[in-house]
Structure 1
Amino acid sequence: MTEQFGNRTPDDLDSAVSERLIDELIDHLHSRAEEIGELIAQSYRDSIVEYRSLPDGFIEQDVAPTARANLEAMLASLTDETCPVTEQGERINARLATFRDSAVRRFHQGVPVQALLHAYRLWGHTVWAQVRQAPQIRDNPELGLVVAGKIMRHVDMVSTAVAEAYLEEASGVIRDREVVRRDLLEALITGNASPERIDRLSRYFGLPTTVRYAAVLVRSRQLSRSSPEDLRNTLETVRRHLHPTETGSLTGVRDEEVVAIYPLHQAASQREMLRTQADALAVELSQCHVGVSRTHTGLETASAAYREAQDAISSTEITAERRARFYSDAMLDHIVESSPFKSVLYEEIIEPIEQYDRDHHADLLATLRAYCAAGFNLSGTAKALIVQPNTVRYRLKRIHELTGQDPFAPNNLLLLALALRAAR
């Protein structure tokens, strides 16, 4: 063995140099995490029949992210020995929780335990192949033994943890409602759940399959800046505000979003209650958009409801107003966007107002926006603009003169409101 390393053993490597090289190795692998994750996912497709039979996109959306999380956990384990024993143990337990959860999901997805453990062995082989090619190992092969030992211990530890979690779930010992709830939520949103599975899991959570449901989507106004703690706090806030009267809702985190599938047992009377709760949620979560779909009959319609909630958020205009955005609001945007008269609305209404504002340093367009936002109420508009109601009335009269559209006539007012949407 000493001849392989040029008469040097791992013990000969200076401790400070070893720590520096390991830090450099960690940085190198971090920079290639996405690429390594794709290699691992490809090895799963090539070698494991059960993984190839999973629904389209499942490896990319679930299996590959778990593999990348495993890589991050392994990299963290390379420095664990420098931590106090108690702290090291807490870190290990926290990291293993992710993989125990994934094992429970694989059980409910019908993946055999043999295929699950095969995946973790493939993970270890693929990661070790990438580590061997790293310049820190090529230039210092004696360090390879140290790192190889750490990788082997990590794979053994994670494999043991996932096998135990899988077998405990299979024997009915684990009842991790949160993991199964996330699994059901994901299946409903993606439309990948069979009617039998929806029926079984909905009974598990006490969710009727035939009532009407709406989807509520909460997303940060600044994506990629939400920490896990932020998402947990948002989830708790959503659960505190959204509370149907007869049963609970199905609520969970998906990527950087919080999603709730909200039942309306008496659709007509509960729509207003949902609007009130969603608006209160938007006020408290001022850093987030809150989108709400139409109501649909049956849990199997959740994927369509989720897309509508997304549409409601994607068409949200950034304003100081804090309220939930309903799909009915977004429908007007879609109507305007697809209308051949969109440019006519802009040219006939918005352009004359903009030109007047430029020429006279006026605020007619801002007044029209405030008037629509205030529900066409003169006093509310005046309060928002900090002017007198008569000032608002004068400006609206000037808009009538410029455009030929009377802000006090219903049909004309509708055209003015649509023109504002076209101006976006």
Structure 2
Amino acid sequence: MAEQSEDNAHRELDETALQPLIVELIEYLHRRAYEIGELIAQRYRENIVEYRSLPSGFIEQDVAPTARANLEAMLISLTDDDSAVSDRDEESTARYAPFRDSAVRRFHQGVPVQALLHAYRLWGHTVWEQVRQAPQIRNTPELGLVVAGKIMRHVDLVSTAVAQAYLEEASGVMRDREVVRRDLLEALISGNASSERIDRLSQYFGLPATARYTVVLVRSRQLSGFSPESLRKTLETVRHHLHPTEAGFLTGVRDEEVVAIYPLHQAASQQGMLREQADALAAMLPRFVIGVSRAHTGLGAVSGAYREAQDAIASTQVTDEKRAQFYADAMLDHIVASSPFKNVLYEDVIEPLEQYDRDHRADLVATLRAYCAAGFNLSVTAKTMVVQPNTVRYRLKRIHELTGQDPFVPNNLIILALALRAGP
């Protein structure tokens, strides 16, 4: 015990002797505070994806000033008596309040807590790197040991404070937000809520009232009673794979469906992107079928869009094909189904091809279907069918001979495409 007391006294004497150098180090770092803050902000951009996705100018106006404030707080801590510092005392509570506030802001900005804590670890590494370069540390190595310990303790206290503030905010707000989300989703889909109520709820999620939206509906291929946990996982997959470029994206679970209200303000230019994302989602969720409505203007039209997404699913034959079903495709099914020429199309086009396939073990119907799905591209069709383009060309020529409809003539091609939808 006597030896330990002597060691403690020796350490205290050493730190006391180093105090003038610590004061010099603090002054040196004060002079470089702005430069160090900018360096930290740059490292955040380079290393943390979530910080790069923050709004333009936000790192300069919020993140970098917070990093500099953290540096100032750390410099104050260099003169603290570690044995007397507590993360719960009044002084520490006031010192760390700005960082708790920043954690709350990060939560509402959609920054995950893992990214937030990564930022504080990166802050600690960067500050220590700059401290090591200070002349006081280079000239007096033992000072580095003392300062390193204080920096580590500061990072630990700040990280604990911000994590606690973040999680406290999340636990309260997320519950409230989820309730509001469900209310808004139900109000939009049912179409029964007043316009005033929809306006009030939509403002909470930043959904422009007069913008254009489409509905993406995800439903199980079989009514198998998916568990709430399975639906939550499906919801997370939907949120991860649908990436609208406009504001106003809303998703949620309704009964045994996952519904996404997708902003499509520039419908013509963004339709291709939506189709690509929806098809990728369908490939990720083979046990589900994806229905997509047309784009409609205004939140009041979402209920109609939801019914279109339902029709896209209901009117399309559910196959093993991993792609989304768009209402535009379903409209063709409706046209064919209601046409008095439906049977004529099937008898004159599909039946001869099916008979030929049976007699010759061929794939004319499959080739025609792949040709239409490929946008009438020979190379893509060949890749889909795992044959040479010349083989596809030969089969299309045979289709012409058997049906009288030339796949290379636009009007004939329309008849062939409609006939594929005329099956029994």
What is the TM-score of this pair, normalised by structure 2? 0.56
Instruction: Go from structure 1 to structure 2 and tell me whether the alpha carbon gap of 1:193 and 1:343 turns closer, same or farther (over 3 Å shift).
Output: same
SS at match of 1:422: coil
8 Å CA contact 2:316–2:333 kept in 1: the answer is no
Looking at CA atoms only, which structure, 1 or 2, has the larger radius of gyration?
2
- 2:68 corresponds in structure 1 to none
2:361 partner letter: H
Counterpart of 2:343 in 1: which secondary structure? helix
Map 1:201-350; keep pairs closer than 5 Å: 201-350=201-350
Encode CA deviations 1:281-309: one digit per residue, 9 max, x unaligned: 22222221111111111111111000001
Tell me the residue number matched to 1:178.
178
User: 1:371 Cα shift?
Assistant: 1.9
**SS state of the match for residue 349, structure 1?**
helix
Deviations 1:354-378 (A, max 9, x none): 2222333332222222222222222
How has the CA–CA distance of structure 1 residues 367 and 275 changed in structure 2, closer, same or farther, with 3 Å as cutoff? closer
**Offset from partner CA, 1:213-258 (integer Å, 9 cap, x none):** 1111011222224221110001111112223334241211011100
Q: Give structure 2 stretches of 5+ with no counterpart.
A: 1-171
Relative to structure 1, is the Cα distance of residues 321 and 175 closer, same or farther in structure 2, using a 3 angstrom cutoff?
closer
1:408 alignment partner, SS class: coil
Letter in 2 for 1:270: Q
Matching residue's letter, 2:220: S
* Structure 1 segment 140-159 matched on structure 2, within 5 A: none
Q: Distance in 1 between matches of 2:398 and 2:297?
A: 48
Distance of aligned partners of 1:405 and 1:237 in 2 relative to their CA distance in 1, 3 Å threshold: same
Provide the residue aligned with 1:189 in structure 2.
Answer: 189
Q: Distance in 1 between matches of 2:252 and 2:173?
A: 23
Q: Distance in 2 between matches of 1:310 and 1:348?
A: 31
Q: Which residue of 1 aligns with 2:380?
A: 380
Q: Deviation string for 1:337-365 (max 9, x for gaps)? A: 11111011011111122222233333222
Flag the 1:362–1:325 CA change in 2: closer, same or farther, 3 A: same
Work out the CA distance in 1 between the residues paired with 2:310 and 2:323.
15
Please tell me the residue identity of whatever aligns with 2:421. R
Contact persistence 2:333–2:421 (CA under 8 A): yes
Aligned to 2:352: 352
Closer, same or farther in 2 for the Cα pair 1:375/1:197, shift >3 Å? same
In the alignment, what sits opposite 2:136?
none
- Provide the identity percentage: 79
Aligned positions of 1:77-92 closer than 5 A: none
- The CA distance in 2 between the partners of 1:276 and 1:257, in whole Å, is 21
Which one-letter code corresponds to 2:363 in the other structure? D
Say yes or no: does 1:391 pair with 2:394.
no
Query: C-alpha distance in 2, partners of 1:272/1:421?
Result: 23
Give, in whole Å, the separation in 2 of the partners of 1:378 and 1:269: 26
Shift of 1:173: 10
The AA in structure 2 aligned to 1:269 is: S
* 3-state SS of paired residue (1:402): helix
Give secondary structure in 1 for the equivalent of 2:262.
strand
Structure 1 residues 173 and 248: CA distance shift in structure 2, 3 A: closer
Deviation string 1:293-328 (CA, Å, 9 cap, x unpaired) is 111111111110000011111133334432222111
Distance 1:288 1:200, change over 3 A: same
Checking the alignment, whether the CA contact within 8 Å between 1:247 and 1:263 is kept in structure 2 is yes
* Distance in 2 (alpha carbons) for counterparts of 1:319 and 1:403: 26
The answer to whether the Cα contact below 8 Å between 2:208 and 2:248 also exists between their aligned partners in 1 is no
Q: C-alpha root-mean-square deviation of aligned residues, in Å? A: 2.1
Q: Is the 8 A contact 1:224 1:256 kept in 2?
A: no
Distance (whole Å) between structure 2 residues aligned to residue 317 and residue 241 of structure 1 = 24
Distance 2:302 2:375 in 1: 32
Q: Which amino acid aligns with 2:384?
A: A
Q: What is the alpha-carbon distance in structure 2 between the residues aligned to residue 354 and residue 216 of structure 1?
A: 35
Shift of 1:388: 2.6
Q: 1:259 corresponds to which letter in structure 2?
A: V
**C-alpha distance in 1, partners of 2:283/2:361?**
33
Q: Residues of 1 paired with 2:343 and 2:201: CA distance?
A: 49
Q: Specify whether residues 230 and 400 from structure 1 end up closer, same or farther in structure 2 by C-alpha distance, changes over 3 A only.
A: same
Question: How big is each residue's C-alpha offset from its partner over 1:89-137, in whole Å with a ceiling of 9 and x where there is no partner?
Answer: xxxxxxxxxxxxxxxxxxxxxxxxxxxxxxxxxxxxxxxxxxxxxxxxx
Aligned partners of 1:374 and 1:380 also within 8 Å:
yes
Deviations 1:145-186 (A, max 9, x none): xxxxxxxxxxxxxxxxxxxxxxxxxxx999611112112211
Which consecutive unaligned segments of at least 5 residues does structure 1 have?
1-171
- The separation in 2 between residues aligned to 1:228 and 1:340, in whole angstroms, is 45
What is the CA-CA distance between 1:399 and the residue it aligns to? 1.3
CA distance in 1, matches of 2:200, 2:329: 35
Q: State the SS of the aligned residue for 2:421.
A: helix
